[in-house]
Amino acid sequence: MMAEKILLIDDEINNLKVLQARLKANHFDVVTCDDPLKGLELASSIEPDLILLDVNMPKMNGLEVCQKIKNSYATAHIPVVLLTCMDDIGYKLRGFDGGADDYLVKDEIDYREIPARLRSILRRMRSSRSANPLTGLPGNEEIIRTITETIKTGKLFSVAYVDIDNFKPYNDRYGFSKGDQVILLVAKVLREAIQQKGSPNDFLGHIGGDDFVVVGNPYTMRKMAEYAVRKVKESAPKFYDPEDRKRNGIQGLDRHGTKRFFPFFAITVAIVDIDPKRSPVTPDQIANIASKIKKHLKNSGGNTFGGYEIILNQKKAGVA
């Protein structure tokens, strides 16, 4: 299991050193930063499992940093724990209103206790949102709830099912740890694709394994999918050894046990457009339609996106 990554943002160097040493001794992977603006950049680029954030900092205080983290699609899912010297309920409420997930009061906590508290917070966060333990994204329960609630609104929406092409032979050759890195790459690319080409209210979930789901605006879903497919294709060669890069893929066994050549991994995105007012539908029915689309796309070579464009010429008012 990979060490949980903590981003520690505090302008006091001594605090950084003490906390970093304590967390590393308890098997966390720690990245430190003494500049809140640089910390915002790191939150997006390194995708930590948790951010430990000091409140009292120059340039931008911790409450402002927390708000920016929670207002960005790329980082909104990351738990933020605020470090403060003030044990004041009004002050804490301001932090929670800004999106903070928990508080640690410096003068009241033993530094030896912090690693245990952070792991408890991480367990609680993952449990409360039924998150996938690898990516931290909402899992099956939340995916089904989101689709069901979106159907109830009666508004037009799309569901995109994302599957990694050639993932099994890659996993067989390079091992589960490398396979996990590929899954994390796809999760990161999908977050980025939604932020760059999707809509603010789009939802991203991780079914499990190499399968993801995006629920959202039908008028931006294909642009999001196109962006994601391209970005994964650009990144894939870096995950292979030099010899395999030269060959543009690997030799492996298919599902029938037959040895054959597999190109670099990629993603296939099957998109289902839904108009709940036109025809009643359930999450299971949507999944079945997506499965047929995905099969067709994969039989055509994968590394692409597509679906039934049955609603895109309708009036755009009321889109989810």
- HEC per residue, 3-66: CCEEEEECCCHHHHHHHHHHHHHCCCEEEEECCHHHHHHHHHHHCCCEEEEECCCCCCCHHHHH
Q: Is residue 256 part of a domain?
A: yes
Residues 166 and 222 in one domain: yes
pLDDT grade for 90, boundaries at 50, 70 and 90: low
Q: Among residues 128, 150, 168, which one ends one of the domains?
A: 128
**Report field, pTM of the whole predicted structure over 0.85:** no
Q: Residue 157 sits in a domain of what CATH number?
A: 3.30.70.270
- pLDDT on residue 93: 73
Q: Is residue 315 part of a domain?
A: no
pLDDT grade for 142, boundaries at 50, 70 and 90: confident
Query: Looking at residues 187-212, what average pLDDT do you find?
Result: 94
Residues 197 and 220 in one domain: yes
Q: Residue 17 sits in a domain of what CATH number?
A: 3.40.50.2300
Q: Which of 115-119, 178-182, 214-218 has the lowest mean pLDDT?
A: 115-119
- Portion of the chain with pLDDT greater than 70, in percent: 91
Q: Is residue 108 part of a domain?
A: yes
Domains contained in the chain, number = 2
pLDDT grade for 131, boundaries at 50, 70 and 90: confident
Domain limits for position 201: 140-308
Q: Is residue 316 part of a domain?
A: no
Residues 167 and 283 in one domain: yes
Residues 151 and 222 in one domain: yes
Residue 314 has pLDDT above 50, yes or no: no
Q: Which of 79-83, 123-127, 164-168, 231-235 has the lowest mean pLDDT?
A: 123-127
Residues 112 and 177 in one domain: no
Looking at every residue in the chain, the average pLDDT score rounds to 87
Q: Is residue 72 part of a domain?
A: yes
- The number of residues making up the chain comes to 320
Query: Looking at residues 185-208, what average pLDDT do you find?
Result: 94
Q: Which of 57-71, 95-109, 191-205, 264-278 has the lowest mean pLDDT?
A: 95-109
Q: Among residues 128, 158, 190, which one ends one of the domains?
A: 128
d(CA 53, CA 37): 12
Report the Cα 253 to chain-centroid distance in Å. Answer: 30
Query: Looking at residues 190-212, what average pLDDT do you find?
Result: 93
Residue 312 has pLDDT above 70, yes or no: no
Q: Is residue 227 part of a domain?
A: yes
Residue 276 has pLDDT above 50, yes or no: yes
Q: Is residue 134 part of a domain?
A: no
Residue 309 has pLDDT above 70, yes or no: no
Q: Is residue 49 part of a domain?
A: yes
Residues 31 and 155 in one domain: no
- The predicted-structure confidence for 229-275, as pLDDT tens digits, reads as follows 999 999 999 999 999 999 999 999 877 778 999 999 999 999 999 99
